[in-house]
Structure 1
Amino acid sequence: MIPHDSIVALATPSGAGAIAVIRISGQDAITIGNSVFKSIKNKDLTTQKTHTLHLGHIMDASKTLDEVLVSIFKGPNSYTGENTIEISCHGSPYIQQQIIQLLLRKGCRMADPGEFTLRAFLNGKLDLSQAEAVADLISSDNEASHQIAMQQMRGGFSNEIAKLREELLNFASLIELELDFAEEDVEFADRTQFHELLYRIEFVLKRLIDSFAVGNVIKNGIPVAIVGEPNVGKSTLLNALLNEERAIVSEIAGTTRDTIEDELVIGGIGFRFIDTAGIRETEDVVESIGIRKTFEKIEQAQVVLYLFDSLKFKVQSSEYIIEIEKIKNQFPLKPLVVVINKIDLLSENEVLNIRKQFETLNVKLETISAKENIGVENLKNQLLSFVNTGALRNNETIITNTRHYDSLLKALDEIMKVKFGLETNLSSDLMALDIKEALYQFGTITGQVSNDELLGNIFANFCIGK
């Protein structure tokens, strides 16, 4: 059931600022707004055109609360599809609360989290995947996550799903028609075309499912663990990557006793760097806990930077190469970058000799001086190469939502059942059941199939004013 009462909320972040925007949406939104607004030109908001701005004052009886600008959006040509007004007032928290309390007394109620976007969905302004993309857009903190959210909010993903669902629905209708004429043994659905459609749907679903691995790390950031012995420059490297003094740097081994995390955007992709405690044998209880946490962070990381001191590596290279092999064997699926630090203390020939030793090892090698900021940009480019950004450059659809991923997996499972039934001449009535289930899973993505519990879970994570 679509609600028709009027809701109000602060649409800008709480706290003091230059301006704040208070949003009202509902059947009586403009009437309620007009009841507290006094135009400088004595305008009646209820008679004004949609998408217009009006200067005046918010009045509580004879008391002036603030000078404001009121924007009018008449349904269905508004974000929510309902009558909507937005009051741009000065950003004093006191003014904000006074205006909101006044509107509550005039008949509004406080909006629930995401209720404006929920109403946009219920009124057909957005489908469910587009509505979810609104939340992703608000929370995007790098170019890549912003690009993905914008593409999904414009309907890139839902259009692709809707097209597949429509084609499958057409064949489902023909299969159902065959059941109505079962006694006459006729086929309305061309089995060859149906097989081609199923193959195309399978291909698209697998591509979308595979994109989730990239989309998930783009949305949440790629965790990178910086590991190595104590005092090899891990904290200095973290500071060089972030271009700030984030970690304590000291000549004393074991200074970093806990993990330190911070984020950096490289080429539009978010990376979460984790500076860990140095790996060594120690009797210090606190340091031992830090070392144990280091291995936990390696487990969680998607990329491992193994840092070595160039002077120590020069005289103990064979021992260190054995250590590299151990890490490779312990974490075979994680990209490993060996980083030789402090190369400013070596000659050019010594650096070349280190590079030659790594020609037979199947690992990436970067030589840097974190202190002098030598080779740090090359290291950033190496990290960026681990991310498949080709899909972004080609503007392909990328999945970032776990709910969508789950529905796609279930839809693919049902499509494979339909495909198997077609290849084994399964009866039309049994095949129709699998087709209906596949259609159901497609529908859960775009909201053509939804329930109150699902909608409640999705919109509960929105901010109040959206």
Structure 2
Amino acid sequence: MITDDTICAISTPAGAGAIAIVRMAGPQAFQITEKVFRPASANKKISTQPTHTLLFGTITDGQNDIDEVVISLFRAPRSFTGDDIVEISCHGSVYIQQKILNLLIDNGARMAKPGEFTQRAFLNGKMDLSQAEAVADLIAAQSESARRVALQQMKGGFSNELINLRNKLLEFTSLIELELDFSEEDVEFADRRQLIDLVDQIDTVLKNLINSFSLGNAIKNGIPVAIAGPANAGKSTLLNALLNEERAIVSDVPGTTRDAIEDVININGLTFRFIDTAGIRETHDKVENIGIKLTYNKISKASVILLMMDARDEDQNIHRTVMDVKKHMNADQQKLILIINKVDLVDSSTINQRFSEDAFRELTGTDAIVPLSAKHRTNLDNLIDHLLQTVDTNAIDNNQVVVTNARHYEALKKAREGILRTRDGLLNGISGDFIAQDIREVLHYLGEITGQITTDEVLGNIFKNFCIGK
């Protein structure tokens, strides 16, 4: 990639606003700005100003004044990209933004590609690849938890963990490869016992990082919650109550919901994606049967299942439905909350006695039982508390590294496979050249995450998803 030319783009969101920022980076950034900017103080030339300076003045095309602006100057290498950077803060008219951008291009800059500013920061050593990807995650963060995780990764929390592992492995693999140069003398420079201990430590770290992906992915993309149950149990009413709006059609006629309806809500800094599914029942309606099949598919993929039953249902019917839903679940990875709805239609003393008994809990085998009335929003807070308890946020609260990126997750799994092979080789006395090969593979996959080992294709795939101007 060419990094010795000068790029420019509008860095604020598309459309009109109070102000907008046009950003330019590259070796000609200051010279191009001098051609189109007239400072309010004639003695303040851009070329003589120190880094991190603000100047007020006018953008002009040489014949007409375009706008009064404030420009920010950042000299290399003390800038986001490591290049000279100029940021022009102008009024937010779409016409003015485009006019300034065209002026910069006419005077020698070119339009930046998506993510090119951040890509230059990576190529210039201002951040590693995982930090660059965290920039995009921070921009896209839609909850407090997503913001915290992305910011920690952008500050290098994840990178530091991987670099530390990589450096320890590099030290040992260099000793093992040194042994290969003296293979005829049968000497060992690397203590095998110490290497096994190191491999065990690295395996523990990799395993924890891999396991954190389920939490990280949920934080980044929202925790999928499937609302399931028999037809007319009140699933759509519950969705509307949680969202505080009439999102789903509510009717006394069974089978009203025939497709999955999704919406998102932020609760205590966590994003939940609620999915209202078609009612589970036997029917000859072909369209409804397609919806019921989709319901089971959504159940299998959700992190949490809210199974709604009518408080007037018999215990055996509830048990049968719970068992049916559990067939489509992974008990180790998914949570099942049983909701007993329409408690307003049953005597309250009967409800409290019936659903608080240990026998009923054992009968259903669910993670929690919440009696409520979705129609009247009774006990809705209790359900929300149980939802929050399904997400273990200790890792976030303790500023632990949480993996949120699928590319990182795949690389970590491959690195761990190499570590396990290395351990087996050490325990079975495998030749040093095979052990060195396995360690090199681990180093490769760890380096892929941070960008120490990468290709133009990988970079292209990563940065094409950025917005232009960042």
Counterpart-to-counterpart distance in 1, 2:329 and 2:177: 52
Matching of residues 189-208 of structure 1 within 5 Å: 189-208=190-209
Match of 2:16 in 1: 16
- CA gap 1:169/1:90 in 2 versus in 1, 3 angstroms: same
Query: What is the aligned-residue identity percentage?
Result: 53
Match of 2:360 in 1: 358
Match of 1:36 in 2: 36
**451, 454, 458: which one pairs with 2:455?**
451
Residue identity matched to 2:156: G
- Superposition deviation, residue 286 in structure 1: 4.0
- Superposition deviation, residue 266 in structure 1: 2.0
Match of 2:439 in 1: 435
Match of 1:388 in 2: 392
Contact conserved, 2:20 with 2:90, CA < 8 A, in 1? yes
Counterpart-to-counterpart distance in 2, 1:26 and 1:304: 52
Counterpart-to-counterpart distance in 1, 2:281 and 2:182: 77
- Superposition deviation, residue 296 in structure 1: 2.8
Match of 2:327 in 1: 329
Asked whether 1:293 is paired with 2:294, we answer yes
Contact conserved, 1:256 with 1:277, CA < 8 A, in 2? yes
Contact conserved, 2:296 with 2:328, CA < 8 A, in 1? no
Match of 1:376 in 2: 380
Contact conserved, 1:212 with 1:399, CA < 8 A, in 2? yes
Asked whether 1:263 is paired with 2:253, we answer no
**423, 428, 451: which one pairs with 1:419?**
423
Counterpart-to-counterpart distance in 2, 1:281 and 1:185: 73
Counterpart-to-counterpart distance in 2, 1:284 and 1:192: 67
- CA gap 1:224/1:188 in 2 versus in 1, 3 angstroms: same
Contact conserved, 2:300 with 2:330, CA < 8 A, in 1? no
Match of 2:27 in 1: 27
Match of 2:181 in 1: 180
Matched residue SS, 2:212: helix
Kindly provide the CA deviation profile for residues 160-212 of structure 1, in whole angstroms up to 9, marking residues without a partner as x: 10011111111112112222233333222222222211111111111111111
Asked whether 1:91 is paired with 2:92, we answer yes
Matched residue SS, 1:72: strand
Contact conserved, 2:300 with 2:328, CA < 8 A, in 1? no
Counterpart-to-counterpart distance in 1, 2:20 and 2:431: 62
- CA gap 1:195/1:257 in 2 versus in 1, 3 angstroms: closer
Matching of residues 130-141 of structure 1 within 5 Å: 130-141=131-142
**302, 318, 332: which one pairs with 1:320?**
318
Residue identity matched to 2:5: D
Counterpart-to-counterpart distance in 1, 2:288 and 2:347: 34
Residue identity matched to 1:349: S
Residue identity matched to 1:350: T
Counterpart-to-counterpart distance in 1, 2:285 and 2:182: 81
Asked whether 1:462 is paired with 2:463, we answer no
Matched residue SS, 1:365: strand
Extract unaligned runs of 5+ from structure 2. none
- CA gap 1:185/1:255 in 2 versus in 1, 3 angstroms: closer
- CA gap 1:293/1:186 in 2 versus in 1, 3 angstroms: closer
Counterpart-to-counterpart distance in 1, 2:207 and 2:108: 50
Counterpart-to-counterpart distance in 1, 2:432 and 2:336: 52
Contact conserved, 1:2 with 1:123, CA < 8 A, in 2? no
Counterpart-to-counterpart distance in 2, 1:226 and 1:204: 35
Contact conserved, 1:36 with 1:60, CA < 8 A, in 2? yes
Kindly provide the CA deviation profile for residues 21-62 of structure 1, in whole angstroms up to 9, marking residues without a partner as x: 111000111111121111111221111111111111110112
Moved more, 227-236 or 6-15: 227-236
Residue identity matched to 2:361: E
Moved more, 129-138 or 418-427: 418-427
Contact conserved, 1:264 with 1:272, CA < 8 A, in 2? yes
Counterpart-to-counterpart distance in 1, 2:163 and 2:14: 38
Counterpart-to-counterpart distance in 1, 2:180 and 2:292: 66
Kindly provide the CA deviation profile for residues 390-413 of structure 1, in whole angstroms up to 9, marking residues without a partner as x: 211221111111111111111111
Asked whether 1:61 is paired with 2:65, we answer no
Counterpart-to-counterpart distance in 1, 2:437 and 2:327: 47
